[in-house]
Amino acid sequence: MGLSFWQIAIVVLLLVLLFGRGKISDLMGDVAKGIKSFKKGMAEEDIDSAEIKQDPKVIDQKSETDVKDIKSKKTNS
């Protein structure tokens, strides 16, 4: 049992009537920002892991305050 075109159209119409076009477009914009932020975070993680694989002493060379600053910047972004 699948959904027909008319059932999907009625659901979309009800959503537009309940939430309005403005709220739906804002919600979709927020979803897009979240996806971009997630991709950016994953890319930064890949870069960090690549640096560690190249030179494992990178972490040892940094003082504890530098490591804390880096971690706080990642959580704030």
The structure's pTM equals 0.42
Mean predicted confidence (pLDDT) in 54-66: 53
Given a contact cutoff of 8 angstroms between Cβ atoms, the answer to whether 18 and 10 are in contact is no
pLDDT (0 to 100) of residue 16: 86
Dihedral, CA of residue 43, residue 47, residue 49 and residue 52, to nearest 10: -170
Of 76, 7, 19, the closest CA to residue 44 belongs to 76
Given a contact cutoff of 8 angstroms between Cβ atoms, the answer to whether 68 and 74 are in contact is no
Alpha helices per DSSP H over the chain:
5-54, 58-61, 64-76
